[in-house]
Amino acid sequence: MKSLSSLDFPELKNIIAQCNLEEKLELLELLEKDTFATRFNKFLNSVKTDELTLEDITREVEAVRQANYHER
């Protein structure tokens, strides 16, 4: 039997396909934790902009507050 370090990606996918749902969910949780920093930084870079001013943010916050207030 091959060691895990010598598996190629298609073989790994084949092994994962044979896992039950609980094992797949555990793998998913592991991958999410392992890739969180990378995904979060990618997200931050995607929303980074110099176009928003403090006034824009304040207006938006106030609009959301008003909408929440009127929903009550």
Is residue 27 a contact partner of residue 19, using CB atoms and an 8 Å limit?
yes
Indicate if the pLDDT at residue 1 is higher than 90: no
43 sits in the region (left: phi over 0; alpha: psi -120 to 50; else beta) called: alpha
Predicted confidence (pLDDT) per residue in 42-52, tens digit: 998 888 877 88
Model's pTM, two decimal places?
0.54
Q: CA gyration radius for the chain? A: 22
For the stretch 2-57, pLDDT in tens is 676 789 999 999 999 999 999 999 999 999 999 999 999 999 888 887 788 889 88
Residue with tokens 């824009």: 56
